[in-house]
Amino acid sequence: MINKEINMNICQVIQQLIDNALTLKFIEQEDEIYVRNQILCLLGMNEFIIPEKIKENEHTIPDLLEKLVDYAWENGIIEDLFDEKEILASRIVNCFMATPSTVNKSFYEKYHKNPVMATDYFYGLSKNSNYIQTKRIAKNINYQSQTEYGTLDITINLSKPEKNPKDIMKEKGIKSTNYPKCLLCVENEGYAGRIGHPARSNHRLVHLNLVGEPWYLQYSPYVYYNEHCIVLSKEHRDMKIDRQGLLRLVSFVEQFPHYFIGSNADLPIVGGSILSHDHYQGGRYEFAMAKAADEYLFALQSFPNVKGAIVKWPMSVIRLRSKRADELVAAADRILESWRNYDDPSADIYAYTGKTPHNTITPIARKRHDVLELDLVLRNNRTSDEHVLGIFHPHSDVQHIKKENIGLIEVMGLAVLPARLIPELKEVEKYILGNQHEIAEYHRSWAEQLREKYQKQANNENIGDILRKEVTAKFMRVLEDAGVFKRNEQGIAAFKRFIKTSKL
């Protein structure tokens, strides 16, 4: 009797999942039995009792998948391991996912009507198929805070689940493989996954042509902003910022003018987390940097159809505008080549140590009406005895909040902060209010400053707002530390000096 009851419950869940797939038009009515049988096979079930009455379907696809995965490990079909659960959930979704060719056909049918319709379709597909982990992303702490540079975004990342010791031990016992070569390779499309490599059965890519080369569009599984997409090269090759890369960025925004696109820098420390695969990040979101005002305008004699400006931003940003893509890229390439070899001892900038390069850029492209924009954020990854993690990297007095690399997302004004801050900031709040606390030692100096600053006004009602404001101030300092030309009289003069020597 108990077994039959359990079986009836799981049949209800399977039917609810299929009903969701029908409602979202993942499948047609004619596909129902086929999909059901595929799911039964994955769950080790040999029969299906058609529910006499289907419960009202209030559950999302992620909720239903969790129920099916729990059933599988409770019945010994999979082990109680994070990766095995992810693999099964991904394979279940794949039972009603369209093939890559069908997804691409649907995408481009919509694209020829309107590019926005195409990306709306693909983004919706990526969320509804649980490839974008919407339920986990909802756990993130997000807020905005006003600064002299505009409204900065703060995210405390709680979406990526931690693995338990059993998972880690299992990974150590798995023989490494070189397929796929990395998490961005095209071979991840439809890949079942394995211990130590994420499940990708429900992963789909849209084919792109950027400057005559095959590239692909996907969305980030853990989106940090609206329609956070990744554009990746078919070839597994190192990231490289060069003229061709700038051309590809411009080509992308001409094809998808409602999206921005940018690249992490191509050197360690100032680059992103994956430098081994050429890729970009974009999306449908306007960051504070994109809204930042022009602070200093300059003419480009060699490129009369291009307008230049230094942007009012804590990092060192040159903004180029033009209706002519060819001239815009040529001007940006001239600046890049000048910067690659630029020294300014007065600003502590050196292009090389021996043959090791230090100067590069973080480029971002967008299109405003019929005008193309390229933002070139100047980067330098040199280290020193005082700043062992980087001279133009978060300095030691802000690393208690943000120690990681400053990549493309942070450059544009969104702080991605570690999950450890949630409990740690609660202890800082207690310290400021004079309550019993267990404050981390690396926060103590900051907390003492805040207690002195707010001792007359801090209370239980406003302490949260105070901490959010002060964390944002720390992030602003992080960006200022990463700026190669500091925002003072000497730094601004040095920035203008670089522009004059670039032979524009």
Compute the average pLDDT of residues 324-348: 97
How far apart are alpha carbons 80 and 74 in whole angstroms? 8
Is residue 378 within 8 A of residue 258, CB to CB? The reply is no
Compute the average pLDDT of residues 26-48: 95
Is residue 169 within 8 A of residue 196, CB to CB? The reply is no
| Count of alpha carbons within 13 angstroms of residue 219, beta-carbon side | 28
Burial environment of residue 98 by CB neighbours within 10 A (0 to 12, 13 to 18, 19 or more)? middle
pLDDT digits (tens, 9 = 90+) for 62-85: 999 999 999 999 999 999 999 999
State residue 499's pLDDT score. Answer: 95
CA distances from 52 to 8, 12, 49 (A): 10, 9, 9
The pLDDT > 90 percentage for the chain reads: 89
pLDDT digits (tens, 9 = 90+) for 101-154: 999 999 999 999 999 999 999 999 999 999 999 999 999 999 999 999 999 999
State residue 172's pLDDT score. Answer: 56
Give pTM, 2 decimals.
Answer: 0.93
Q: Which of 331, 332, 241 is nearest to 280 (CA)?
A: 241
The angle at the Cα of 370, spanning 368 to 375, to the nearest 5 degrees, equals: 45
pLDDT at 433 over 90: yes
Element spanning 63, H or E: helix 61-74
Across 286-329, where does the E strand assignment appear? Answer: 294-299, 307-311, 317-322
How far apart are alpha carbons 174 and 177 in whole angstroms? 9
State residue 389's pLDDT score. Answer: 93
Tokens representing 431 are: 């310290």
Confidence of residue 272 (pLDDT cuts 50, 70, 90): confident
Q: What are phi and psi of 52, to 5 degrees?
A: -65, -35
Is residue 215 within 8 A of residue 234, CB to CB? The reply is yes
Confidence of residue 166 (pLDDT cuts 50, 70, 90): low
pLDDT digits (tens, 9 = 90+) for 344-403: 999 999 999 999 999 999 999 999 999 999 999 999 999 999 999 999 999 999 999 999
pLDDT digits (tens, 9 = 90+) for 456-480: 899 999 999 999 999 999 999 999 9
From 119-123, 270-274, 424-428, the region with the lowest mean pLDDT: 270-274
Q: Which of 316, 282, 288, 260 is nearest to 152 (CA)?
A: 288
Element spanning 137, H or E: helix 134-137
Is residue 131 within 8 A of residue 189, CB to CB? The reply is no
How far apart are alpha carbons 383 and 339 in whole angstroms? 18
Tokens representing 439 are: 């404050």
Burial environment of residue 427 by CB neighbours within 10 A (0 to 12, 13 to 18, 19 or more)? middle
State residue 50's pLDDT score. Answer: 84
Confidence of residue 305 (pLDDT cuts 50, 70, 90): very high
Beta bridge partners of 352: 357
Q: Report the mean per-residue pLDDT for the chain.
A: 93
How far apart are alpha carbons 39 and 18 in whole angstroms? 10
Burial environment of residue 412 by CB neighbours within 10 A (0 to 12, 13 to 18, 19 or more)? buried
Place of tokens 């090791």: 356
Is residue 13 within 8 A of residue 68, CB to CB? The reply is yes
Cα–chain-centroid distance for residue 166? 28
Burial environment of residue 102 by CB neighbours within 10 A (0 to 12, 13 to 18, 19 or more)? exposed
Q: What are phi and psi of 418, to 5 degrees?
A: -75, 150
Which distant-in-sequence residues (6+ apart) come within 8 Å of 488 by Cβ?
Answer: none
State residue 4's pLDDT score. Answer: 47
Is residue 284 within 8 A of residue 119, CB to CB? The reply is yes
| Count of alpha carbons within 13 angstroms of residue 2, beta-carbon side | 0
State residue 53's pLDDT score. Answer: 66
Confidence of residue 57 (pLDDT cuts 50, 70, 90): low
Burial environment of residue 492 by CB neighbours within 10 A (0 to 12, 13 to 18, 19 or more)? middle
Which distant-in-sequence residues (6+ apart) come within 8 Å of 142 by Cβ?
Answer: 153, 154, 155, 156
How far apart are alpha carbons 63 and 230 in whole angstroms? 26
Is residue 364 within 8 A of residue 242, CB to CB? The reply is no
Q: What are phi and psi of 301, to 5 degrees?
A: -60, -35
Cα–chain-centroid distance for residue 472? 19
State residue 1's pLDDT score. Answer: 34
